[in-house]
Structure 1
Amino acid sequence: MIRPALKMLSCVLLTIILIWTSMSARPVLAAPSEEANRILQDSLSIVEIDHEIERISQEQQILLQRQQELRSNLATQQEQMTMQRKRAGSVLRSYYMGERDKLLSVVLGAKSLKQLLSLYDYYLLLISHDQDVLQEYESNYRNMRKTEEQVTRASSDLETVKTNLLEQRKRIVLLQARVNDGVNASKNPDTLRKLIGEMTAYWENVGVYEVNKHFKALAQAMQDLPQFIQQQQGAMVTNGKVITISIREEDFNRFLKSENELFNHFNFSFGQDRIVVEGQQGTMKLRVEGHYTVENEPQNAILFHVDRLVFNGLELPDTTRNKLEKDFDLGFYPQQLISYVKATEVRTIAGVLEVKLELSLK
């Protein structure tokens, strides 16, 4: 009984040794060189810019279809306007030539009350019809002009999208060439290609989901920030018409952790004119750098802009940052805190986020 057991144990140990040997024999790029990191970063940029090209292409098709529909509508409206212009012109000529004055004279020259009332009703009916014709002409003219403006705007938007598409395609060609050159020049191109594939798959299957999940949680938390500020003693100081809000980074971190346990693994720090978010959860390391600005269109708000996005040590391109800003609103809206104020200034200094508000009764 002992020998079979020893034999089985020997087989298990031998298997473990073989697995360990095969793993040790594989080239490991757990800590890639600076050049390998650059190649990996360019590869991720290619993936993200490729997604942006796909999005822009879809937007281009939508705009093209919209432009065609608007031009078709405009052609129909222009045909209708030709007919209505003749009708409106006929009405205006009748007034200019004094035909309506003659009709009024006939009404006033009625020989009996019954005839007067009949002619007067007819006169009012005719005048009312004239007004309807002119109002319809005016309304349709405004609609036509509005459609013309929409066609012009759609054409301009389409040209902008086309230009953006060409620029992104140029970027991806240059990046792809740089990646190919870097891989071919590396000591172990096959291993590097495999690492690129693994990193790309990890980003698309795990990274995108995790980054979006954290940005979504942050956007939801920001909706409760006005209520949190109201509860903080001394957070708001009033000096005449100016209200200054000061949020310390330790209070901000405490607020976020109370909102969502995802932020237990991350830390927000306020520096000179920038905010840094950094942390790790599982195999994902994330670093976000950004800043706030005061915007007045379409409404007064303090909006967050992503300046850098680093995923597992690899910086993602501007297309990814722009998409996150568009998809997730990390802004702060002062009028949710006090209805009759507007933000005029925002700044971050060491450890503190400051917002200045002014009373606005408009």
Structure 2
Amino acid sequence: MNKRIKITISTLLTTIMLLTFIYVRPTLAAPSHEESQILQDSLSIVEIDHEIERISQEQHTLLQRQQELRSNLTVQQEQMTIQRKRAGSVLRSYYMGERDKLLSVVLGAKSIRQLLSLYDYYLLLINHDQDVLQEYESNYQSMRKTEQQVTQASMELETVKTNLLAQRKRIALLQSRVNDGVNASNDPDTLRKLIGEMTAYWENVGVYEVNKHFKALAQAMQNLPQFIQQQQGAMVTNGKVITISIREEDFNRFLKSENELFNHFNFTFAQDRIVVEGQQGTMKLRVEGHYTLENEPKNAILFHVDRLVFNGLELPDTTRNKLEKDFDLGFYPQQLISYVKATEVRTLAGMLEVKLELNFK
């Protein structure tokens, strides 16, 4: 069996698995409000557990970096002790006037040949002195930088440890709540089965589908500046201020033209928020978010996920934060016009509005 056939079979198996999960959803009766809360808590446990794994790995990486930095700092401090002695010797020679005496000897040479020889030696010594002092300064700055890095790594490590403890406490409380809810249920075994099915459905289909849609949206946003330029009346200039107005129906049309995935979803602009809602197969997704204006590290309008609801179950902040980190849904005005800076963004009923100012700095 050649490599191409193996790859094809592997792809087919993966596709069959996904289709199976998509079209064979949990067949149990619709859960009650209490059961839905238990299911939501169960999904939160799964997602927070992934976050704990990520934080633990980050903690391990930071700990290794901290140890490496401290080891480097010890070596640098030992080198600095040697360099400090050499630099001190050079500085004392100038303070005691030894270089002045040598210069007097050079100037007192009795022949041109002797003068040139002494002068070459004098320059060689002075250049060596400068090299010693420069090396000391360079090593000193390097050591100071390493000390700052050790301090920064220590602070980051403490933050990560605190976050890890908080997430572990959070998952323990959720697990306790789920256990209490299952035990209080009229049919604990059925509820456990539903939890297992919904968890498997999320991990095998939900994560894949949500990531796929966010990736498609991130790719589409890269072409938004070009779309705006093509829309007559979308940009209005008043002196140094440029106002971009994107209508809800135009934005939906733009996304559908970018990727057929968005044929099943609708974007709604409301007061200070954006709502994305739709269904594909057995997957129902609702995303609520908002834009903020940021100037660091560069001027940008960034999208933040406030709520993420999958098949009626709201996922925790750890999932939302990961999506924001993995997929850039931002809008960068300088991709539209290089000499502008965004100064305001707001969403109104049916409209997204961005204000730009000319900026030639």
Letter in 1 for 2:347: T
3-state SS in 1 of match to 2:82: helix
Letter in 2 for 1:247: I
Letter in 2 for 1:325: E
Alignment correspondent of 2:4: none
Alignment correspondent of 2:316: 317
Shift of 1:249: 0.8
Deviations 1:47-96 (A, max 9, x none): 00000001100110000000000000000000000000000011111111
- Whole-Å Cα distance in 2 between the matches of residues 150 and 301 of structure 1? 29
Deviations 1:196-245 (A, max 9, x none): 00000000000000000000000011111111111111111111111111
3-state SS in 2 of match to 1:91: helix
Alignment correspondent of 1:16: none
Shift of 1:183: 0.8
Letter in 1 for 2:169: K
Superposition misfits of 4+ residues, deviation over 6 angstroms: none
Alignment correspondent of 1:119: 118
Deviations 1:278-323 (A, max 9, x none): 0000000000000000111111111000000000000000000000
Alignment correspondent of 1:162: 161
- Write out aligned runs for 1:134-173 (5 A): 134-173=133-172
Who wins on radius of gyration, i.e. which is larger? 1
Letter in 1 for 2:359: S
- Whole-Å Cα distance in 2 between the matches of residues 239 and 110 of structure 1? 79
Letter in 2 for 1:269: T
Letter in 2 for 1:248: R
- Write out aligned runs for 1:148-297 (5 A): 148-297=147-296
Shift of 1:30: 3.5
- Whole-Å Cα distance in 2 between the matches of residues 120 and 235 of structure 1? 75
3-state SS in 1 of match to 2:354: strand
- Whole-Å Cα distance in 2 between the matches of residues 335 and 224 of structure 1? 13
- Whole-Å Cα distance in 1 between the matches of residues 269 and 305 of structure 2? 14
Shift of 1:29: 4.1
Shift of 1:157: 0.4
Gaps of 5+ in 1: 1-26
Letter in 1 for 2:70: R
- Whole-Å Cα distance in 2 between the matches of residues 28 and 281 of structure 1? 18
3-state SS in 2 of match to 1:358: strand
Q: How many residues align?
A: 336
Shift of 1:28: 6.5
- Whole-Å Cα distance in 1 between the matches of residues 113 and 269 of structure 2? 88
- Whole-Å Cα distance in 1 between the matches of residues 320 and 33 of structure 2? 23
Letter in 2 for 1:208: V
Letter in 2 for 1:217: A
Q: In the alignment, is residue 344 of structure 1 matched against residue 343 of structure 2?
A: yes
- Whole-Å Cα distance in 1 between the matches of residues 111 and 221 of structure 2? 79
- Whole-Å Cα distance in 2 between the matches of residues 301 and 332 of structure 1? 6
3-state SS in 2 of match to 1:298: coil
Letter in 2 for 1:131: Q
- Whole-Å Cα distance in 2 between the matches of residues 61 and 79 of structure 1? 27
3-state SS in 2 of match to 1:30: coil
Gaps of 5+ in 2: 1-25
Q: State the TM-score, normalized to the length of structure 2.
A: 0.92
Q: State the TM-score, normalized to the length of structure 1.
A: 0.92
Letter in 2 for 1:61: H
Deviations 1:324-348 (A, max 9, x none): 0000010111111111111111100
Q: Which stretch shifts more, 238-247 or 256-265?
A: 238-247
3-state SS in 2 of match to 1:329: coil
- Whole-Å Cα distance in 2 between the matches of residues 326 and 214 of structure 1? 15
Q: Which stretch shifts more, 121-130 or 206-215?
A: 121-130
Alignment correspondent of 2:3: none
- Whole-Å Cα distance in 2 between the matches of residues 30 and 81 of structure 1? 73
Alignment correspondent of 1:91: 90
- Whole-Å Cα distance in 2 between the matches of residues 345 and 99 of structure 1? 67
Letter in 1 for 2:162: T
Shift of 1:111: 1.3
Deviations 1:165-220 (A, max 9, x none): 00000010000010111111111111111000000000000000000000000001
RMSD of aligned Cα (Å): 1.0
- Whole-Å Cα distance in 2 between the matches of residues 254 and 166 of structure 1? 45
3-state SS in 2 of match to 1:110: coil
Q: In the alignment, is residue 102 of structure 1 matched against residue 101 of structure 2?
A: yes
User: 1:204 and 1:292, CA in 2 relative to 1: closer, same or farther beyond 3 A?
Assistant: same
Deviations 1:81-123 (A, max 9, x none): 0000000011111111111111111111111111111111111
Alignment correspondent of 1:64: 63
Deviations 1:147-174 (A, max 9, x none): 0000000000000000000000001000
3-state SS in 2 of match to 1:56: helix
